[in-house]
Amino acid sequence: MPKQIDVKLVGIFREFSGNDSGNDVEIDGRIFGVTFNENPYEEKSQSDIFAFPHGPIRISQGEMVPIDMGSTEFFLSTPSTEPPRVNGVFLLFGGELNNSLGSGFGTISTFDITQPDVEQRHSVEIGSDNLKIRLDFVLTERFVW
């Protein structure tokens, strides 16, 4: 049986940066996840986690914008109980943001998240020396029957 991993974006934070002008900025883009295998690389699934449904978010320096949306389900292989390569063994999560911020991602493997119903907090930074955005996620394994 595969592992179900619920991924939820809980907040977007604009960090303090020495060269940041301090002016409000609007950000949008695509925040998503991808499951995959390695050796050879093989993408298994891709889903949006947060797609800025109400348009860009305006954010000030030092501000946290809470995100109140549901989670997105991803399925990872459990090599001891299913044939190899049925689902991805790795989950990449993060995003690509506008305003020349670029992209940033975190990665976990099926072996990194092993306790059902226990929330794991992960952060991903995107940006440059002048402007840094932190995406805060909660990942939770759900038991699949």
User: What is the DSSP annotation of 124-143?
Assistant: EEEE-SS-EEEEEEEEEEE-
| Global confidence as pTM | 0.91
**Structural domain boundaries enclosing 97:** 3-142
Mean pLDDT across the chain, nearest whole number? 90
Residue 67 confidence class, pLDDT cut points 50, 70, 90? very high
In this model, does residue 85 exceed pLDDT 90? no
Q: Work out how many domains the chain is built from and give that number.
A: 1
The residues with which 26 forms a beta bridge, in sequence order, are 58
Cα torsion angle, 19, 23, 29, 31, sign: positive
Mean pLDDT of all residues in 71-91: 88
CATH number at residue 85: 2.60.40
